[in-house]
Amino acid sequence: MATILLADDISFIKMVQKEVLEKQGYEVVGEASDGIEVIEKYKKLKPDVVIMDITMPKMDGLNAMKAILRLDSNARIIVCSALGQYQLIIDAIKAGAKDFVVKPFDPKRLALAIEKALK
């Protein structure tokens, strides 16, 4: 069973993501509410996939993603953000994101992004 770490400052979003992912057979092993916390939890939990918001306190998701990729170049990170702007999507993919899912997210789209990242 693939393990997932969720990073989003809004607890409602993490609750919905967790419900959706657990129904699809994934194990949510941790949750973080800011960019610093997700880096710490990544080091500790070594999840198979991170679902990362961009807008977060302390450190934004794009910088947190870059920091995680410096620690582990094989980290699989999917950005899930309401900021689905063309340039941000390009920047996120160039920086190493496996995919970019725009909120409000379609559960099937998120599952597909995880499947693709795990291959």
Q: What angle do CA 11, 24, 12 make, to 5 degrees?
A: 10
Report in angstroms how near the CB of residue 47 gets to other proteins at its nearest. Answer: 23
Choosing from 27, 66, 84, 109, the residue that interacts with other proteins (CB under 8 A) is 84
Of the candidates 13, 23, 24, the one whose C-alpha atom is nearest the C-alpha of residue 32 is 13
Choosing from 81, 92, 101, 110, the residue that interacts with other proteins (CB under 8 A) is 81
The smaller minimum CB distance to other proteins, of residues 30 and 61, is found at: 61
Report in angstroms how near the CB of residue 104 gets to other proteins at its nearest. Answer: 5
Beta strand 99-102 pairing with 3-7: unpaired
CA–CA distance, 34 with 1 (Å, rounded to integer):
26
The smaller minimum CB distance to other proteins, of residues 55 and 71, is found at: 55
The smaller minimum CB distance to other proteins, of residues 29 and 91, is found at: 91
Structure tokens belonging to residue 85 = 């702007």
Of the candidates 75, 11, 15, the one whose C-alpha atom is nearest the C-alpha of residue 41 is 75
Binding site for other proteins (CB under 8 A): 9-13, 15, 54-57, 60, 81-88, 91, 102-104
